[in-house]
Amino acid sequence: MATVYQQMATDELRQEVGELRAQVEATKAKNLSLDMARGKPSPEQVDISRPLLSVLNEDSDLFDEGVDCSNYGCFEGIPSARKLAGAFLGVPAEQTIVLGSSSLNIMQSVLIHYWEKGVPGYTPWSKLDHVKWLCPSPGYDRHFGLTEDLGIENVPVPMTETGPDMDVVEKLCAEDDSIKGMFCVPKYSNPTGVTYSDDTVIRLATMKAAPDFRIVWDNAYCMHDLTEDGDKLLNIHGIAATAGNEDRILEVASTSKITFPGAGVAFFGSSEANVREVAQTLKVGLISANKLNQLAHVRFFPTIEALHQHMMRHAGFLRPRFALVQEKLAAGLGTTGCATWTNPRGGYFVSFDAQPGSAKRIVALCREMGVTLTPAGATWPYGKDPADTNIRIAPTYPSLDELGAALDILVLATKTVCAELALEARA
* Site of interaction with ligand PLP (CB under 6 A): 39, 102-104, 140, 185, 190, 218, 220, 254, 256, 261, 266
**DSSP labels, 89-130:** HTS-GGGEEEESS-HHHHHHHHHHHHHHH-STTS--GGGSS-
List strands edge to edge, sheet with 132-137: 96-99, 266-269, 249-254, 214-218, 179-184, 132-137, 153-160, 163-164
Please list, in sequence order, all residues whose beta carbon lies within 8 angstroms of the beta carbon of residue 425, skipping any fewer than 6 positions away. Answer: 6
Cβ distance to ligand PLP smaller for residue 81 or 365 = 81
The nearest distance, CB 289 to ligand PLP, in angstroms, is 13
The nearest distance, CB 378 to ligand PLP, in angstroms, is 12
CA 173 to centroid of chain Cα atoms: 23
Cβ distance to ligand PLP smaller for residue 108 or 160 = 108
Q: What dihedral do alpha carbons 385, 217, 204, 374 form, nearest 10°?
A: -10
Cβ distance to ligand PLP smaller for residue 101 or 274 = 101
Cβ distance to ligand PLP smaller for residue 4 or 89 = 89
Count of all residues that appear for the chain in the document: 427
The nearest distance, CB 118 to ligand PLP, in angstroms, is 25
Backbone angles phi, psi at 91, to 5 degrees: -135, 160
Cβ distance to ligand PLP smaller for residue 210 or 253 = 253
Backbone angles phi, psi at 301, to 5 degrees: -120, 80
The nearest distance, CB 122 to ligand PLP, in angstroms, is 27
The nearest distance, CB 303 to ligand PLP, in angstroms, is 22
The nearest distance, CB 283 to ligand PLP, in angstroms, is 21
Cβ distance to ligand PLP smaller for residue 102 or 416 = 102
The nearest distance, CB 291 to ligand PLP, in angstroms, is 18
Burial class (CB in 10 A: 0-12, 13-18, 19+), 129: exposed
Cβ distance to ligand PLP smaller for residue 104 or 194 = 104
**Which among 24, 21, 1 has a CA at the least distance from the CA of 420?**
21
